[in-house]
Structures are given as structure tokens and as C-alpha cells.
Structure 1
Amino acid sequence: MAKPQIAPKPSEHDDRLYCDYARLVRLQAQSECFSLLPHLKAGSVLSGRHHSLFRGRGLNFEELRHYQLGDDIRNLDWKVTMRTGKPHVRSYTEEKDRNVLICVDQRSSMFFASDHVMKSVVAAEIAALCGWRVLKDGDRVGFIIASSSAISHTKPQRSQNDLLAQLKRLVHANQSLNVNVMNNQNVSFDHWLEVIKRARVKQSTLVFISDWRDCTEQNLDHLKQLQRHNDILSVMVSDPLEQSLPNEIATANWVVGDGRFQLNLDSKSKVTSASEQLTKKAHLQRSSLEKLMAIKQLPFIELDTSGSHIAQFQKLVGGR
């Protein structure tokens, strides 16, 4: 008989700044409150034992139809054929498991928020929520975690113990972030995609949870290629301050930087110019991802740092 899981104790970290392992485990209960199926194509995102496009002598009867050249004669329904005088075949759909890879961003740019909760916390909690949902559907789930120092990859497994281990790794990456952390040169979006390429994923679902800050047009072209044999769900985590700046910043003499460069926002013209650039970049990112999702008629999901990301995600993917 399986041993009961012991509930982990909450950490002493501020849950607005860092994710908590105990909370990631408790999110299992909230995976019951939404479905990823209603607004998505059958056989795509996280649909568990989904209906595949493969036909054969499978598990589920689909339809009875006229015989067509090339149909397997073993699927002939002789009773209907004799009754109608025309050959009819029984068509089936095959149920297949799906491997799901959750690609979650825990790099330095994610350690930011002007509202309630850090982008890195939003990404970690949504990743955990997806992991529990996939496992509940009986599918295999793996993680590709991009931290500030390295990119780790695990093969999808249908195992709660493995998921718990991945959540611990996710928490470690999350709690390693701070204002002084700089990204290693080997954790760019290019390297992230290279890890996926080496994994040779096919007929899988990839869930990208990131701010997509360093995703280039070349990267998007690579993702389009991956879309040919996989389903990709993009989740953008954004903060209001990254999309436009309030005018009152000019009188506050703000100095902003990324650890290497600084910009002194000491005039209204500088604030306006910087705000316009942020708005333009955010619009281009959003537009590019919407086009990527449209390839397979999947939704584009954008979450903010207001603290309501769980409810936002559940609603966007068909919460009930």
C-alpha cells in the first residue's frame, strides 16, 4: 500500500518574492478546478489520453462510413454491408499518451515586479499547476528549467515522486534569484531551444512560461518548426511597468538598470521616450506569440504580477 504523502511545511520566505515548495504541492488541489480542453483542439495542449489523428483498429469507435479506396478490409462491417448492398467500414480512433515538457523561466529578468508578486513566482506556480494537471490526466510530464546559472532537463515521467523532485529543483532555482544575480552566458533563449533540440521532442506538448524578453525572430522561427510535430503553448508573464511608465516618474528622478547599464529618467521627455519603446516592444512580443499560437489555433496566454495569476490562467484555459 502506498505511503501517505506528508504535507511539507511552509517556508519563511516572503511568498511575494519567492515561491514556496509547500504551496507548489498544495496547488495540486487547484488543478481540479479547470480544464485545458474546452477551448483547445482535441489532441493538443495537455489533453491527457487524447484522441490522436491515427486511425486503425484502435480503442474507440468513431464512425460508420462508406468504404474508400485504401481502407483496411479488416474493418469492413459485414452486417451493414449485406443490409445496404454497399461496403461500409467501421472507423476507430486510437488513444495515445502524450509527453508534456514544461519549460519554465527562472532567469534574472524574471526577478521583477512593480505590483504584487515577482514574475519568477508567477512562472513557478503556473508550472506546478500545469504539472499537477498533466499528471492527473495520466500523461507524462518533464521540466526544462532555465535558471540564472544553467538549464536543466528531465525526461517526462508519469510519477508523482518525480514531479515532487522537479518542484524542489524549481524552488531551488527560484530562491537562488536576487537583485545581484546575473545570467550565465549559457542560459539565453538560444541555448534553451538548443536543449530542446537535443532532446529530439516529437508528438509532444511544450508549455513555455517566460517573459519572452530575449526571444528573437530567429527563435520564433525555430518554435514554428517545432510546431510541425508538437504543440506549443506560450504563456507570457508580464509586469505593467515593463509595458509603459507613469508620467510621475519624471519628478521622482528614477535611475533604472539591468546590472550593466543605467538610464536616468529625470525628465518628462526621457520618460515618454522610454515608455514608447517599452510599449512598442511589448506589442511586438505579443503579436509574434499570437501568430505562433494561431498556427494550431491555441490561445495566447498573458499573466500579470497582480497576484491573481492562478485565476487568470484557469479562466484563459477553460476554468469551471
Structure 2
Amino acid sequence: MPSSVMPTSSPAGQPSPAAISAVGLRKSYGDKTVLDGIDLRIPAGSVFALLGPNGAGKTTAVKILSTLITADGGQAQVAGHDVATSPDGVRAAIGVTGQFSAVDGLITGEENMLLMADLHHLPKREGRRVAAELLERFDLVDAAGKPAQSYSGGMKRRLDIAMTLVGNPRIIFLDEPTTGLDPRSRHNMWQIIRELVSGGVTVFLTTQYLDEADELADRIAVLNNGKIAAQGTAEELKRLIPGGHVRLRFADPSAYRSAATALREITRDDEALSLQIPSDGSQRELRSILDWLDSAGIEADELTVHTPDLDDVFFALTGSAVPTQPNQPNQPNQPKEAAR
């Protein structure tokens, strides 16, 4: 999780204002219901990730909240403005980077930036200053005079987001921003997102990469069949799925036997001298296990916590295969392991 994000509550203990909120949001196309009454509340200065299978309605939700299409029912507010009655107020506060780049490949990177400045009605001098600052911020100065069609995928994505920032939006919608990027470009994009949030920007992220949501998001919602199947922090979602456990490994056979005799509901591995205890990995359960070991005078040589990962969560909540990207073969669902 990013360490630079703003807190989700004020110093007085009150919840921070919602940058985005929705209640009962609905949308249908013909007889197909895409969104079936979803509720969202996204605190200002945070990263929110919306996950779901292809066709689950992620992009539809983004389009409604960014005023590109209208909902059939429900209410939504973005930056304090109602998306139905005050769309201009919403548009003035947001930036949107879609699945497909808005970059014009026939003109240079700098010209793309200046065109965006014109669209925001910035004075010429101000537009050039903002464009120059953003090109430098996104490490595009050397390529600024080259046609954007010559840029790599990662460079085009950086330029796309730089163009989005010309209007200094407080809220940014990133619809699958790293699809098709190589691992280095993806990690560069993650750093850009962290820097945006550290500056107080709210990021609404849709992604097919589950590790991306795990890495970046303060809160995650899983959308399935038009409904929010679950939402919470990554750790809270992982605890919804059974299979978590604590593994104790012993070097001393006598200590192993003593622990195996005293503990209940364990799985033994006599050859490896290890015990597996069902656990949700919470701090309270870990403290209980450690307190018991101390009181019994038993010392384990290694304690590891195994928790289900977001792949497991996604599969359990949607009943569909975990999404994979091209050239990345399906990996079996295996719990992540964190040494303690």
C-alpha cells in the first residue's frame, strides 16, 4: 500500500470528505443490466480500485461518474457536484485517462500538451509554462519535439496522463492505465500515481492487474454482475477467503512434539517439524499464538503467515477465471507468504 496517501479521517476523528460518492447507481442497455444499484464512497486524497471481469461494468461506472453518459437511476456526486444536475462542475474538477490513449500521434508531444492547454482556455504564456513543467515532470523533455506516434507505449501513457493534468484536476479517473505496458513502464506508472496522491489528488483506478490494485489501492471494490460483491482494504478482502493459516517450524524435535500435543486444530508435518494453524492473519490471532508459545515456554524457529491473495478473492467473488495479460500464462492460485 502506498505510504504517501492522505489519511481517511480528519484530525478530529471525523471521516474525511468524499471525493466521489454514489448511491443506488443503475445503468442498463436494452434488457442487459450493467450496473444494478452500486454504492461507493471514496475519500479525498486516496486511491480506489474497481475490479471485475470483462464486461462487469467498470468502464460504465467511470463514464457515469465523469459525466460521459447518464445513469438510469441512483445519485452520484463528484467533487461535491451532482453528476446529473451539475455536470460542468464535475468536469472542471476531474481528469480522465481512458483505456485508449487520447494522444494525437501526428503531432509532437509538446503540441499535444499545448492543444490541451488551449482546450482548457489557458492564456498562451500560462499554457506554455504548464506544458513545460509537465513534460519535465514526466521525463518527456527530450522527446517533446518528436511526433507522438514515435513514442513507446510507456511514453504515450505518460504523455496521456500529463495531458490530463493540464487542467490541475483534483480527481483523476484512470481506466486500465497500464494495460499493454512492459513491467518497467508499469512500475513507472505506479510511481506517478503515488506522487499524484501524495499531492492530494484522488485516483479512481480500474485495472485488470490484481497486483496493481494490491500495490496501490487504499480501498478496493469487486464488481460482478452489476453489483458490488465486496469492498474494503486489500487485507480485509483477503480475510473473506478461507485458507489462511500460520505455519510454525521447529528445529528442536522435542519442542515440536510439545507444541503439536498442546495445540488444537492443527495440521502436522512430522518430517518438516512444522505445524499449520488456521488463522485469518489478524494481529489479534498472531498475538494469541505468540502469547501461548511464551506461556508454554516453547520457541518456534520460524513463523510465517499465509494469506489468500487477490487472485483468490477475485475468483471466489466473481466465479470467473483470474484475468491474465497477453504473454503471461495463468498461474495457479497460491497463497502469498509473508515471513514474520
Question: Structure 1 length normalisation: TM-score?
Answer: 0.30
**Structure with the higher fraction of residues in helix conformation:** 1
Provide the TM-score with structure 2 as the length reference.
0.29
